[in-house]
């Protein structure tokens, strides 16, 4: 079998863990498999590097940030290769560019355009274990790029697609995908399997197990993923196409604190207002999520929407520069909000689900600031200090504990 394994930062956090990973990799190799391993930076390395940059320059160019951040994965890949050498296994480590990871030039959040897997395949042919630095690639100018926080998952899935892997395992520090964050709800249940669509939603709603783009890619190329712990020997959660997935109305509850709400007061209520507003933000690559527009009166209306906290400053700046264009008065913003969402493919045809979620919030006296729904999810915006309580109430209400 051709296997791609990805190990996250906690799985390679120190020498002991690196050896632990090396042993597991070797055991797959010794069974006769071809193994490609994608690694993340050790522990908090990426955060530490960001801090280091700040000590020098609080607004470094994105290009140089990528040069810096890509070093984290380079440390892991070489250490893991050394551990495998020590265990007597033939191994080679490759950076993103050596591995042929070609991306666009959106530094800090680059997309993989193509993987030129020739070098990797050549090394596999020579019976080597190939370790690849996750999270990084190279653009057409030969500059180093990174894929966005958590991007190593995406490196792994893209590689699995490029080489036609039979199995793609994502090793992490939890046993799989849970019905909600076990740190918030200790008796949350591990799911045996989950569909791509549900996982895309959970991942992008802050479930923090998988990078959401990795799941989108897995769906696109129909690559079954297994999410499992590198610290145990136990089956994880299979993420796959929809067919045999167990039918449950609601599969999980997610919370996302990385949300800020922006409100634009009194902008012109006329055709094109929303277009002008949101195309400005799109040009700055700012992702807008929940949108709420009030009823217009006297030719004016308010629009509220949410953006990731990291985009808040840039969004507010852009909007303030263009306020007069919308005839708007002022911009308000609030970082102390969280998005709490339920996800489940089975909820589309079940009108009672939303009511049940709102009832859970009502019984905990939690006010809903904004609501958005799609076929397989319902999200509400609540005050950040109430978000964990909201998750607990909702998780409980849908009977997701101890499944």
Determine the interface stretch with ligand ASP among 149-157, 180-188, 195-203, 391-399 (rule: CB under 6 A): 149-157
Closer residue to ligand ASP (CB): 151 or 252: 151
Interface residue with ligand ASP, options 5, 34, 40, 306 (CB under 6 A): 40
Interface residue with ligand ASP, options 103, 152, 179, 304 (CB under 6 A): 152
Rg (CA), the chain: 23
150 binds Mg ion (CB under 5 A): yes
Residue 65 contacts residue 33 (beta carbons within 8 Å): no
Half-sphere exposure of 304 (CA within 13 A, CB side): 16
Tell me how far apart the alpha carbons of residues 362 and 370 are, in angstroms, rounded to a whole number.
Answer: 14
Tell me how far apart the alpha carbons of residues 100 and 96 are, in angstroms, rounded to a whole number.
Answer: 6
Tell me how far apart the alpha carbons of residues 121 and 174 are, in angstroms, rounded to a whole number.
Answer: 31
Task: Residue 363: count other Cβ atoms within 10 Å of its Cβ.
Answer: 11
- List strand residue ranges (DSSP E) for 329-392, in order: 330-343, 370-374, 377-383
150 binds ligand ASP (CB under 6 A): yes
Residue 176 interacts with, from Mg ion, ligand ASP, none (CB under 5-8 Å by kind): none
Tell me how far apart the alpha carbons of residues 128 and 124 are, in angstroms, rounded to a whole number.
Answer: 5
171 binds ligand ASP (CB under 6 A): no
Interface residue with ligand ASP, options 28, 135, 178, 326 (CB under 6 A): 135
User: Which residues, 8 to 37, sit near ligand ASP by CB under 6 A?
Assistant: 9
46 binds ligand ASP (CB under 6 A): yes
Interface residue with ligand ASP, options 62, 111, 149, 265 (CB under 6 A): 149
Determine the interface stretch with ligand ASP among 39-47, 161-169, 175-183, 270-278 (rule: CB under 6 A): 39-47
Q: Which two tokens stand for residue 324?
A: 């007069």
Binding site for Mg ion (CB under 5 A): 8, 150
Binding site for ligand ASP (CB under 6 A): 9, 40-41, 46, 72, 134-135, 149-152
């Amino acid at each position: 079998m051709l296997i791609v394994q990805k190990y996250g930062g906690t799985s390679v956090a120190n020498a002991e863990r690196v050896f632990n990973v090396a042993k597991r990799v070797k055991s797959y190799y010794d069974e006769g498999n071809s193994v490609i391993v994608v690694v993340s930076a050790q522990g908090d390395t990426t955060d530490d590097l960001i801090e280091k940059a700040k000590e020098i320059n609080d607004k470094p160019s994105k290009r140089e940030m990528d040069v810096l951040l890509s070093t984290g994965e380079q440390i892991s890949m070489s250490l893991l290769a050394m551990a495998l050498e020590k265990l007597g296994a033939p191994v080679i480590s490759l950076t993103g560019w050596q591995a042929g990871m070609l991306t666009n030039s959106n530094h800090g959040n680059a997309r993989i355009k193509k993987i030129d897997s020739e070098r990797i395949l050549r090394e596999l042919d020579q019976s080597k274990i190939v370790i690849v630095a996750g999270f990084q690639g190279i653009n057409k100018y030969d500059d180093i790029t990174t894929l966005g926080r958590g991007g190593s998952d995406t490196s792994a899935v893209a590689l699995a697609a490029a080489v036609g892997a039979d199995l793609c395992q994502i090793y992490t520090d939890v046993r799989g995908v849970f019905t909600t964050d076990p740190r918030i709800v200790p008796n949350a249940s591990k799911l045996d399997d989950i569909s791509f669509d549900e996982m895309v939603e959970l991942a992008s709603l802050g479930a923090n197990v998988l990078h959401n783009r990795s799941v989108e890619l897995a769906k696109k190329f129909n690559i079954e993923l297994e999410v499992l712990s590198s610290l145990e020997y136990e089956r994880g959660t299979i993420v796959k196409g929809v067919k045999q997935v167990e039918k449950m109305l609601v599969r999980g509850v997610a919370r996302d604190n990385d949300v800020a709400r922006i409100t634009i007061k009194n902008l012109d209520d006329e055709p094109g207002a929303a277009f002008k507003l949101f195309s400005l933000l799109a040009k700055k690559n700012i992702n807008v999520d929940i949108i709420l527009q009030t009823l217009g009166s006297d030719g004016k209306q308010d629009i509220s929407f949410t953006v990731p906290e990291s985009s808040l400053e840039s969004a507010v700046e852009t909007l303030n520069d263009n306020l007069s264009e919308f005839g708007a008065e002022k911009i308000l913003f609030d970082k102390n909000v969280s998005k709490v969402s339920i996800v489940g493919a089975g909820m589309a045809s079940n009108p009672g689900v939303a009511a049940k979620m709102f009832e859970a919030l009502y019984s905990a006296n939690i006010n809903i600031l904004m609501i958005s729904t799609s076929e397989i999810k319902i999200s509400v915006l609540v005050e950040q200090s109430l978000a964990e309580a909201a998750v607990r109430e909702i998780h409980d209400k849908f009977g997701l504990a101890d499944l």
